[in-house]
Amino acid sequence: MKVRVQNHWPPGHIRTPAYLRGKTGEIEREIGLFNNPEQNAYRLPPQQQRLVRVRFTMAEIWGDAAETPDDVIEAEIYAHWLEPA
């Protein structure tokens, strides 16, 4: 399933890499449910969130500057940061 990482910049403790925001990738697999670390950081009662591994091509991340455009990077991202692409 293709997804896009939301491109917003809330203040505070964020666990989604800035260089992946706004980028499109494909869910490689579901990891499971975990406490939301963004809530944990502020000692708020954490909600359980789905954690998924998303695969991005270097071309998607770096555009024309990608030395090997077909290589991939995988990142574990909480589902509340993802939207259908």
Q: What is the CATH number of the domain that holds 55?
A: 2.30.30.50
Q: Total domain count for the chain?
A: 1
pTM (global) more than 0.85? yes
Which structural domain, as residue segments, surrounds residue 76?
A: 2-84
Q: Whose CA is closest to 18, among 61, 80, 64?
A: 61
Name the least confident of 8-17, 60-69, 76-85.
Answer: 8-17
Sheet containing strand 48-57, edge to edge, reads 72-78, 48-57, 24-35, 2-5, 82-84
24-76 pLDDT tens trace: 999 999 999 999 988 888 888 989 999 999 999 999 999 999 999 999 999 99
Task: Look at residue 39 in the predicted model and tell me its pLDDT.
Answer: 87
